[in-house]
Amino acid sequence: MFADVPATPPDPILGLSAIVKGDERRERIDLTAGVYRDATGSTPPFETVEAATRAVVDDMQDWGYLPIAGHRGYRDRVSRFVLADAYDSVADRSWCVQSPGGTGALAVASAFARRVASGTIWLPAPTWPNHPAIARQGGLDVRTYRYGDETAVWGDAVLEDLAAAGAGDVILVHACCHNPTGNDPDAELWADLAALLRDRGAVVLLDAAYLGLGRGFAADRCAVDVMVAAGVDLLVAVSFSKTMSLYRERVGALVGVAPTAAAAANTLGNVEAVVRPMYSNPPAFGARVAATVLGDPGLRGRWETEVAALQERLAAIRRQVAAGLAARGVDLMPTIEHQAGMFAMTGLDADAVGRLRSQFAIYVLDNGRANLAGLADDAAIDAFCTAVATVTS
Ligand SMILES: Cc1ncc(COP(=O)(O)O)c(C=O)c1O
């Protein structure tokens, strides 16, 4: 039977990253996978996360399984971290399930939606390419709503398309740092969206993989606050891959807010019922590390400062790219300075993307998305702006 198994195309992001690593030109610039890199081009640990890691290694007492929903301290601290000021008002009707990364949270949310909701999920167009794959693998019907382009969120189109959402449909919205455009809804659009989706009886699934990397923790949580205040049925898929540099430890969570304590208990029970046959229970190590960082006041404060430094560096790269393109008379990416997070759509077509690779050893995704954190220093930003100017002239 294996002889007849068809070939599959490489993953649009991780498949390309593997190709980039094979390009041995010294000037190579990798702007593909969404991994933070510092000015030396490496993905460093956070000092606070390293300290917490040592503490956890020194305190490995229990080697048995975690419960289906994961590490109790982690779940409690993640709920408080994500819900923040709203936590007290929803503590008895919210829950948190630890998951293997943000991807695991989205996969659990999809299986949960297939089990208890309408079976339809709405994804923004464009979105992270793994979203449709996760949803389809979870057995959901995928519909899309127009989200925007490289320069702006199309608020009217978002509301117009989602007015067709049905009761029990899941609506995925990027909480902040929209991947790939970097454009997020403003407060007014969040409020309109919350009211619309509550009235439609939809479930809002906020993908929160970059909390803190956009405009700071408080601003990046704005969507959570608005949705809780509006009383929508809410899921939040959380990831600490980027914000704690715990990529390979797979540290994530699915947080839920229900209208009543009884509804919360039932939704949590159904989430646990999809986790059990999927991966049974999550791995403990990374979650204990994250729980230590979130729960120790000293580490927590220093970690927030570390995240703020990453956020500021990304904002500085945006300012420099904007200035570099303007100086070369290139009118692509006109709003890059006002966007948030790691990504920007360059607006380059397939031919220009190909020339960036062949002539300059600069790699963006096929759709033109660039991970700005890959622009390590001033020289890389200069090289990028010059190359973009050349391939678009
Ligand atoms: C929008 C978005 N959601 C979720 C994830 C998943 O992150 P994780 O690595 O924790 O699975 C990513 C990772 O790139 C992402 O970009």
Residue 331 bears catalytic tag: no
- Of ligand 1's atoms, which has the minimum distance to the CA of residue 34? 14
CATH number for the domain running over 50-298: 3.40.640.10
Ligand 1 centroid to Cα of residue 207, in Å, is 8
Alpha carbons 35 and 46: distance in angstroms, whole number: 14
**Residue 8 φ/ψ region, left for φ over 0, alpha for ψ in the -120 to 50 degree band, beta for the rest:** beta
Structural domain boundaries in the chain: 11-44+300-392, 50-298
Q: How confident is the model at residue 18 (pLDDT cuts 50, 70, 90)?
A: confident
Which of the two residues, 93 and 23, has the higher pLDDT score? 93
State CA 285 to chain mean position distance: 21
State how far the Cα of 200 lies from the Cα of 232, in Å rounded to an integer: 10
Q: pTM here?
A: 0.96
pLDDT of residue 22 exceeding 90: no
Same fold, 11-44+300-392 and 50-298: no
What phi and psi, each to the nearest 5 degrees, are found at residue 266?
Answer: -70, -40
Q: Using one digit for the tens of pLDDT, what is the confidence trace for 277-319?
A: 999 999 999 999 999 999 999 999 999 999 999 999 999 999 9
Catalytic choice (207, 220, 233, 303)? 207
CA distance 305 to 266: 38
Q: Examine the residue annotation and report whether 21 is marked as an active-site residue of this protein.
A: no
Measured CA to CA, the distance from residue 291 to residue 68 in angstroms comes to 17
Q: Is 154 a catalytic residue?
A: no
Q: Which residue shows structure tokens 């001033």?
A: 378
Catalytic residue chosen out of the listed positions 184, 192, 242, 303: 242
Residue range 69-98: mean pLDDT, rounded:
97
CATH superfamily for 11-44+300-392 is Aspartate Aminotransferase, domain 1 (3.90.1150.10)
* pLDDT for the residue 17: 82
